[in-house]
Amino acid sequence: MSTPTVPVNLMEAIVSLAKRRGFVFPSSEIYGGLNGFFDYGPLGAELKKNIRDCWWNDMVRRRDDVVGIETSIIMHPKVWEASGHVAGFTDPLVDCKVSKQRYRADQLFFAAVVVDGKISGYVSALESENTAGELQAAAEDLKRKKAIQGQLAPVVAKDMTEAQPDEIALIPSPATGEPGSLTAPRSFNMMFQTNVGAMTDASSVAYLRPETAQGMFVDFKNVVDTGRVKLPFGIAQIGKSFRNEITPRNFIFRSREFEQMEMEYFIHEDADWARCHEEWIAWCEAWLKSIGLPDDHLSRHTHPKEKLAFYSRGTVDIMFKYPFGVQELWGIAARGNYDLGQHAAASGKPQEIFDEATKKKFVPHVIEPAVGVDRIFLAVLCAGYAEEDVTDEKGNVEKRTVLRLSPRLAPVKVAVLPLLKNKEALVGRAKDLYVKLKRRYAVFYDDGGNIGKRYRRQDEIGTPWCVTIDFDTIEKPGDTFTLRERDSMQQRRITEAELFALLEEQVY
């Protein structure tokens, strides 16, 4: 029997588990870490690989209309001029001149403190789940401190991109609590620059890619000419991207080096793009559920028309309920034929397809589902983490931490446990099974400690099944093992053939 509870500070619990069990470490930790960069430990590397493999299998191998590519991280700098990133891949930045802290202007909120219709000062707060509440509390505080009499109006939260020039000097910096040190927002380009070759002058400037998508556009013609593809078709890629985020935060949710899985789905210029867009949104939602994300944590956010780029026809984000709020997990954008058009114009190489029916050439349009591996990684940890009070047959209550990961993603699929480590017959059978399983699956052999403790260690890292080789295995006919299931903790006997059949069905 078990009673699940979610800890009060779920993020803290997850960061601690990730460190303790080798999922995620701060990068260069012995030198104090580097803000916005992370390393994935032995279990994290497996989990991440499983996320990538599931996506690649479902998106590329199991579809007849999508091919995969892998393009270089550093591309010709003209790519980023044509795509608009050199001019426009910016976030609004606000500096605090006193503390030297930097803020993303759209994540720094402020409000006028209005008492009896008169502005008596300003308060500020960083974006959180409760920004308005924090601003209201700060306003009440200010009124009390300044001993102002009268009726305080409910605060109206605005972000720093909306601040009027005469307001900026009056808004307190979140770092110092005092007004006067914040600068007006200015554009900050998030691309990391580097130099290619021995010269470090303007002619050698290049960029680490801020998205993988441009690789698909720039190689479009190569794929069309060699890939035996016909519209509609997609080009997919998984790879690292780099953004010099002003405020990396929320663990691996927003980092400066991360991994993307993107697909460009090219369609006819006259195709029903809205239907295709909707089909891809539905596909992405179904895929997230297939890797174990619960329906009630997922929602959609449709970008309002006025906030779309001029070429964009529509963007819908699939949102996930993280412990720090509902945030973008997967963006699905209908981008028209902007990108191919831009590259055609900048390179002088037409990016067209010949339409046999109309005998006309045209530039295909595109639907782009773009997701971050690290954000999926964090989502599955958040959705899967639970602490439970477990009552055994003797009525003893014990705590267990369990990670309910889908068998598709679990870093270890099966733990093989000989009941005793000093019984040769048990160990021999366990090792034999372990070697067989290892050929196909990530499995773990553990003969240390009592069996209950060994189960707990596996629960905490999300191993869906433990197999115990016990005396019944070697003494009774049938060569069966005890299969213990992670979520229900139920046990049953199973043969080797049945175990392989179970894995074949659940791990795909």
| Site residues for ligand ATP per CB under 6 A | 211, 243, 245, 254-255, 258, 260, 328-331, 370-372, 374-375
Residue 180 CB partners (closer than 8 Å, separation 6+):
169
Residue 53 CB partners (closer than 8 Å, separation 6+):
none
- Distance between first and last Cα of the chain: 30
Least Å distance between CB 49 and ligand ATP? 17
Q: Which C-beta is closer to ligand ATP: that of 307 or that of 359?
A: 307
Q: What are phi and psi of 181, to 5 degrees?
A: -110, -5
Least Å distance between CB 379 and ligand ATP? 10
Tokens describing residue 143: 């009124």
Q: Which C-beta is closer to ligand ATP: that of 371 or that of 443?
A: 371
Q: For 75-185, where are the E strands, in sequence order?
A: 90-95, 102-104, 108-115, 118-126, 158-159
Q: Which C-beta is closer to ligand ATP: that of 181 or that of 241?
A: 241
Least Å distance between CB 251 and ligand ATP? 10
Least Å distance between CB 317 and ligand ATP? 7
Burial class (CB in 10 A: 0-12, 13-18, 19+), 27: middle
Specify the DSSP class assigned to residue 226: H
Can you list the alpha helix ranges (DSSP code H) found in 122-169?
131-145, 165-168
Q: Which C-beta is closer to ligand ATP: that of 233 or that of 320?
A: 320
Least Å distance between CB 373 and ligand ATP? 8
Distance CA 50, CA 310 (A): 37
Least Å distance between CB 333 and ligand ATP? 7
Q: Which C-beta is closer to ligand ATP: that of 95 or that of 374?
A: 374
Tokens 């309920």 sit on residue: 321
Q: Which C-beta is closer to ligand ATP: that of 134 or that of 374?
A: 374
Q: Which C-beta is closer to ligand ATP: that of 368 or that of 459?
A: 368
Least Å distance between CB 254 and ligand ATP? 4
* Enclosing H/E stretch for 434: helix 424-438
Long-range contacts made by residues 131-140, C-beta under 8 angstroms, separation at least 24? 131/157, 132/157, 135/109, 135/110, 135/111, 139/111, 139/113
Q: Which C-beta is closer to ligand ATP: that of 6 or that of 286?
A: 286
Distance CA 416, CA 78 (A): 54
Least Å distance between CB 318 and ligand ATP? 8
Sign of the torsion angle spanned by Cα atoms 224, 229, 233, 239 = negative
Q: For 209-324, where are the E strands, in sequence order?
A: 233-242, 257-267, 298-302, 314-322
Specify the DSSP class assigned to residue 58: I
- 8 Å CB contact between 408 and 290: yes
Least Å distance between CB 282 and ligand ATP? 17
Query: Which residue number is nearest to ligand ATP in terms of Cβ?
Result: 372
Least Å distance between CB 371 and ligand ATP? 5
* Helix, strand, coil percentages, rounded to 5, for the chain: 35, 30, 35
Specify the DSSP class assigned to residue 107: G
Q: Which C-beta is closer to ligand ATP: that of 212 or that of 473?
A: 212
Q: Which C-beta is closer to ligand ATP: that of 374 or that of 470?
A: 374
Q: Which residues is 491 bridged to in the sheet? A: 484
Q: How far is CA 219 from CA 75, 79, 86, 231, 346, in A?
A: 11, 11, 20, 16, 14
- 8 Å CB contact between 467 and 415: yes
Q: Which C-beta is closer to ligand ATP: that of 192 or that of 445?
A: 192
Q: Which C-beta is closer to ligand ATP: that of 254 or that of 408?
A: 254
Listed residue (149, 122, 161) closest to 138, CA to CA: 122
Q: How many residues does the chain have?
A: 508
Within 10 angstroms of residue 11's Cβ, the number of other Cβ atoms is: 18
Tokens 């803000």 sit on residue: 35
Q: Which C-beta is closer to ligand ATP: that of 224 or that of 284?
A: 284
Least Å distance between CB 264 and ligand ATP? 13
